[in-house]
Amino acid sequence: MSLLATTELRKYFGDVRAVDRVDFAVREGEVLALIGSNGAGKTTLVNLISGLFPPDGGRIVFRAADVTSLSVYERIRAGIARSFQLVNLFDQLSTLDNITLAIFAREGKTRSLGSLAERDAGVRDEALTILQQFGLRDKTDIWAGNLAQGERKLLDVAVAYALRPRLLLLDEPTSGVSTREKTPIMDTITSVVRAEGITAVIIEHDMDVVFKYSERIVVMHEGKILADGTPDEIRSNPVVGTTLLGTSAPAEA
């Protein structure tokens, strides 16, 4: 039984078929990599699932409920959270505040006027724990805008994680980060995700990362799913090799 399944999902931008009748399913608990060349439709698919814009056709079913016409807010409440390719944080709030904000939103407290945010010990403790899990504990009071790029990427994921989702959609969590830093970042993310049993869909371009960290790979090309299987299956798939430039010689993980 899949956690998330799309049926005949379509999104066209004029003549461009960004997502072209895609049937995509994610099983509970798996870590899935979504790959493909630029313009293949990966980010559009994630945008559709997270609710940034409505599809032109097709259905999205999450935990046996049809979420196709739900708003972003409703989808988050249902358990879908995402991070962004171009880091999207509250740069003028502290690292801690970025997380506490997500927790307040999750608890439905964002319209509570009468209490002081700093005083909510429970929320603060939880936020500190999350920062600890993501290795950002020592950056608590620094403004998010002043963090290093790698730290910002981690915080972006941590904010989505703080919503305690069932499905985490991560859009290129290591883009813009030096190769050296990618491993620690991905190690952190996957250890947290696996420890909590969260299902994750990760868009990635770096094939080393893809083969090392995911247990299933879905390849998209020109709006359609080209291949779907384990890393070994994808590695030995000739069609994948020819359509995806730069994947002809993936490094051994």
Partner 1 sequence: MSTVDPSPVLFGLTGRLRGAAFAVVLLLVLPWLIPPYQTILLSYGLIFGIAALGFNILLGYTGLLSFGHSAYFAVGAYAVAFLVKYLHVTSMELSLLGGIIASTIISGLFGAVCVRHTRIFFAVLTLALSQVLWSLALKFYWVTGGSDGLRVPTPSLLGGLIPGTGDKVLFLSRPYYYFVLVVFLASVAILWVIVNSPFGKALQAIRDNETRAEFVGIQVRRCRWLAFLISGTFTGLSGALWAPLNGLVTPDVVYWPFSGRIVFLTVLGGFRTFTGPIVGAVVFNYLETYAVATTVYWQFVLGAVLVILVMTMPAGIVGTVGRLALRIKRVT
* Complete edge-to-edge strand list for the sheet that includes strand 31-35: 80-82, 167-171, 199-203, 31-35, 216-221, 224-229
**Residue 100, token pair as written in the block:** 């506490």
171 lies in the binding site for partner 1 (CB under 8 A): no
Among 91, 138, 215, 233, binds partner 1 (CB under 8 A): 91
Find tokens 């956690």 and name the residue.
Answer: 3
Question: What tokens appear for 200 in the block?
Answer: 């994750």
Cβ closer to partner 1: 12 or 143? 143
Q: Candidates 3-11, 16-24, 157-165, 170-178 — which segment interacts with partner 1 by CB under 8 A?
A: 157-165
Amino acid at 164: R
The CA distance from 57 to 46, in Å, is 15
Distance CA 227, CA 156 (A): 29
Which region, judged by CB under 8 A, interacts with partner 1, from 34-42, 159-167, 212-220, 236-244?
A: 159-167
Q: Does residue 122 interact with partner 1 by CB under 8 A? A: no
Nearest to 187 by CA among 248, 253, 234: 253
Which is closer to partner 1, CB of 81 or CB of 201? 81
Which residues inside 61-80 make contact with partner 1, applying CB under 8 A? Answer: 72-73, 76-77
Dihedral sign from CA coordinates of 116, 118, 121, 125? positive
Specify the stretch interacting with partner 1 by CB under 8 A; choose among 10-18, 101-109, 125-133, 173-181. 101-109
102 scored as a contact of partner 1 (CB under 8 A): yes
Q: Which stretch binds partner 1 (CB under 8 A): 26-34, 100-108, 181-189, 245-253?
A: 100-108
Name the token pair of 161. Answer: 């994680």
Regarding 92 and contact with partner 1 (CB under 8 A), the answer is yes
Pick from 120, 126, 151, 172: which binds partner 1 (CB under 8 A)? Answer: 120
The CA angle 222-85-136, to the nearest 5 degrees, is: 150
- What part of residues 179-238 is at the interface with partner 1 (CB under 8 A)? none
Q: Is 111 in the site for partner 1 (CB under 8 A)?
A: yes
Give the integer Cα–Cα distance in Å for 80 and 73.
10
Using CB under 8 A, list all residues that contact partner 1: 50, 72-73, 76-77, 81-82, 84, 88-93, 97, 100-102, 104-106, 109-118, 120, 143, 159-160, 163
